[in-house]
Amino acid sequence: MNTANVQYVSNEQGSLTDVLIPIELWQEILSELETSHLLKSETMKIRLLEARQREKGASLSQAIDQLNVSLAKETSLEDYFIVLAPNDIRLKGTRVGIETILYDFLHRERTPDDIAQAYPSLTLEQIYATLLFYFHNQQFADQYLADWLEWGEQQRKSQAENPSPVVEKLKKLRHQLEIENA
């Protein structure tokens, strides 16, 4: 473990408060902690040692047969989306566009679980399918999202410059209320 780039941070009293370490060192420490945690269990210790000695594993189909489990029907990403227009890709069976999920994930830094809670009409499977689509088509999806954000900004600007009669009336009412309450 190379500790040459470790930096120590102290407060005004000289007491050590923080340690800054390179990410590679942090990952190495996490790996060692995980391994030591796993080795506390005698069963896991045996399994890890056996796994280390294996040279090749079984194919997925062999493992499925041995474990007596089944996989859901094979699906492709096309099973999850409907393209209404080049700038309108939605999740099948919903009115939710992929931009909604991508914006929450990329800009709001929400987890898939957080997104599922925010949009109860979506399943975690649909959210993960959208993220998989994003990671497989990142350049396209980044441009799609950028176009969507730009379009939204243009729409807000247009609405501010040309408010509807209802908005104008509401602004006047609000102004009158502020005068009356002042």
Supply the pLDDT for residue 2: 63
Which among 70, 49, 48 has a CA at the least distance from the CA of 61? 70
For residue 146, what pLDDT band results from cuts at 50, 70 and 90? very high
> Mean pLDDT across the stretch 139-159?
90
pLDDT above 90: residue 115: yes
pLDDT digits (tens, 9 = 90+) for 24-70: 887 787 777 777 766 777 776 777 677 667 667 666 677 667 767 66
pLDDT averaged over every residue in the chain: 84
Flag whether the pTM goes above 0.85: no
Supply the pLDDT for residue 131: 94
Tokens at 72, concatenated: 């859901």
Lowest-pLDDT range, 18-22, 30-34, 159-163?
30-34
